[in-house]
Structure 1
C-alpha cells in the first residue's frame, strides 16, 4: 500500500513538472510572439507619426 502510494506520488510529481515546463515553454513562445507583434505595431505607429 505504502509503495503504491509512493509510486503514485512520484508519478504525479513527475507529471506536474513536465506540465509546468511544457506550459512555461508555451508561455515563453506566446510572449515572444506577442513581443514581436508589439514591436511591429510600435514601429508602424512611429512610422505613421513621422
Structure 2
C-alpha cells in the first residue's frame, strides 16, 4: 500500500493529475499508519500482524 501510494504521488506530480496525487497521498498515509500499528505489536483488523 505504501509503495502504491508513492507511485501514485509521483505520477500525479509528474503528469499534473490532481486526483492521482490525492489518492496516492491517502494510500500513503493509511499504509504508514497500519505499518506503525503493526510494528507496535497491536492487532490490525483482527490480525496479529499487518504486512
- TM-score under structure 1 normalisation? 0.50
Specify which structure has the bigger relative contact order, considering alpha-carbon pairs within 8 angstroms and separated by 6 or more residues. 2
- TM-score under structure 2 normalisation? 0.49
Q: Judging by fraction of residues, say which structure has more helix.
A: 1
